[in-house]
Structure 1
Amino acid sequence: MKKQTEKNRETQTVRMMSYFIDATTEIIKKEGIDKVTIRKIADLAGYNSATIYNYFEDLSHLIFFASMRFVKKYTDALPHYLEKARTPLERYFLIWECFCKYSFESPQIYYAVFSANLGTHPINLTKYYEYFPTDLVTFPDDLKPMLLESSLSKRTLIAFNQCISEGYIQETYAEKTAEIHYLIWNGMLTMLINNRTTYTVDEATEVTVNHIRNTTAITDTHMI
């Protein structure tokens, strides 16, 4: 009986969260992420503003959860990208190509998920997928730990695992290389957000992936 009560309570929590996330998502689609306010969300969801704080720490956390709805386009597309990979290294570059394409199409969204200030209580991506596990259904099992990691440098290290185990990348340089690749991506994202480049999404993706390729320390036995 106790377990059933807890399950019912959790179901109710997810249902209430979904009301507010759906409302936030709709505002983002119609007005843009910078136009989202607690009052607009509450009005659209049909609840008072105070109720929102029973389920989310603050507005930035709610925007984070709503933004994850848009990130699903990337997670759904990635398995199709990886079908083209013939080697672990190609697979790694395709992960970045897919991520760049979708993040550069919606730079504000990906900034909200991976770079924005979430206050004193940053959200672990695991928490989102605990509430909405179906978003992971089509994702490769060996890459699910990557998806649950909110730090892009750490995500890159996880994506490197197969390259390291099969001798494409020296483990000694993996952590520094992962950080470099994150900084390359973040630099392009920042330029797109601030309109400091005329690159199209495809051009920005190509340039970024080329920089990532050129800064990957490949072992002598796997030179390409």
Structure 2
Amino acid sequence: MDKKEIQKRRMWKYFVEATAEIIESEGVEKVTIRKVADRAGYNSATIYNYFSEVSHLIFFASMRFLKPYTDEVSSVIQKGQNPVEQWLLAWECFCKHSFKNPQIFQAVFIADLGEQPEKLLEYYYELYPQDLIDIPESLKMILFEPNITKRGRTFLELAVKEGSISTNNADGINELTLFIWQGMFTNILNRRRAYDPDKAAAITMKYITEVVQNEKYFRFD
């Protein structure tokens, strides 16, 4: 790595860490290019040499707050005895953390980033490889997938191979459970329901569990 690339990465981290500090102290909605520049000690124009838009800054900074989730999910899914159990445990962990930190999860998994998010995610882990320490290789592939639809499908594909879920129903189950989570998540994010995070997670998991346990009664084909 040449000196120019080292300097670029150093500057990139300055701005990401400055953004993370603003998120921690004021919230995601308070992040602006001017605030980030002021906190990092540079002018606003300099930021655009490294980030094409503010949503990318927020994405990278929000990733700094996902470590508790990635650490926990890598641990809990190992408790599952089969792919369906692992899938449900992964969903339970995702619900738990996403409802506690809706703005962070919105920035990482839902916000319009204007370009391929997988490239942004790959670059993040390239600069912060320590965030992948102690995470099993099998899970790293899932963590590098920013599309939550594809994330869930990975476990269901294993369940299909095992024979516990029919091939015709896998896509439908994946889509329906995602819709269930998105409905609750939107209510929590926009403060449309007075559920605390634990209750929101419990209700969401109730419906997600019922879908997979009763998949033979659904017609997704």
Instruction: Say yes or no: TM over 0.5.
Output: yes
Within 5 Å, give how 1:177-192 maps onto structure 2. Answer: 177-192=173-188
Say whether residues 1:106 and 2:119 are aligned partners: no
Query: Which residue of 194, 206, 212 maps to 1:210?
Result: 206
What whole-Å deviation, never above 9, does each CA across 1:17-71 have from its counterpart, x for those lacking one?
A: 1111110011011111101110110011111111111111110110011011111
Give the stretch that moved more between structures: 10-19 or 108-117.
10-19
- Paired with 1:50 and 1:105, the residues of 2 have a C-alpha distance of 34
Aligned match of 1:40 = 35
Relative to the length of structure 1, the TM-score reads: 0.88
Query: Shift in Å at residue 89 of structure 1?
Result: 1.5
In structure 2, give the amino acid aligned to 1:25: A
Query: Shift in Å at residue 219 of structure 1?
Result: 7.5
Q: Answer yes or no: is the 8 Å Cα contact 2:83–2:155 preserved in 1.
A: no
Q: Answer yes or no: is the 8 Å Cα contact 1:145–1:158 preserved in 2.
A: no
Query: Shift in Å at residue 180 of structure 1?
Result: 1.3
Q: Could you say if the C-alpha distance between residues 219 and 100 of structure 1 is closer, same or farther in structure 2, counting changes exceeding 3 Å?
A: closer
Aligned match of 1:84 = 79
- Paired with 1:13 and 1:189, the residues of 2 have a C-alpha distance of 36
Q: Answer yes or no: is the 8 Å Cα contact 1:63–1:112 preserved in 2.
A: yes
In structure 2, give the amino acid aligned to 1:19: Y
Q: Answer yes or no: is the 8 Å Cα contact 2:180–2:204 preserved in 1.
A: yes
Within 5 Å, give how 1:43-122 maps onto structure 2. Answer: 43-119=38-114, 121-122=115-116
- Paired with 1:172 and 1:126, the residues of 2 have a C-alpha distance of 32
Query: Shift in Å at residue 122 of structure 1?
Result: 3.9
Query: Shift in Å at residue 10 of structure 1?
Result: 3.2
Q: Could you say if the C-alpha distance between residues 44 and 77 of structure 1 is closer, same or farther in structure 2, counting changes exceeding 3 Å?
A: same
Relative to the length of structure 2, the TM-score reads: 0.89
3-state SS of the aligned residue for 2:64? helix
Q: Answer yes or no: is the 8 Å Cα contact 2:22–2:30 preserved in 1.
A: yes
In structure 2, give the amino acid aligned to 1:56: F
Aligned match of 1:133 = 129
Query: Which residue of 8, 13, 18 maps to 2:13?
Result: 18
Q: Answer yes or no: is the 8 Å Cα contact 1:168–1:218 preserved in 2.
A: no
Q: Could you say if the C-alpha distance between residues 127 and 172 of structure 1 is closer, same or farther in structure 2, counting changes exceeding 3 Å?
A: farther
In structure 2, give the amino acid aligned to 1:147: L
Q: Could you say if the C-alpha distance between residues 9 and 166 of structure 1 is closer, same or farther in structure 2, counting changes exceeding 3 Å?
A: farther
Q: Percent identity?
A: 47
Show structure 1 runs of 5+ residues with no match: none
- Paired with 1:113 and 1:131, the residues of 2 have a C-alpha distance of 17
Q: Answer yes or no: is the 8 Å Cα contact 1:42–1:49 preserved in 2.
A: yes
Query: Which residue of 93, 108, 123 maps to 2:117?
Result: 123
Alignment RMSD: 1.8
Q: Could you say if the C-alpha distance between residues 211 and 10 of structure 1 is closer, same or farther in structure 2, counting changes exceeding 3 Å?
A: farther
Say whether residues 1:149 and 2:142 are aligned partners: no
Q: Answer yes or no: is the 8 Å Cα contact 2:122–2:144 preserved in 1.
A: yes
Query: Shift in Å at residue 133 of structure 1?
Result: 2.4
- Paired with 1:140 and 1:181, the residues of 2 have a C-alpha distance of 25
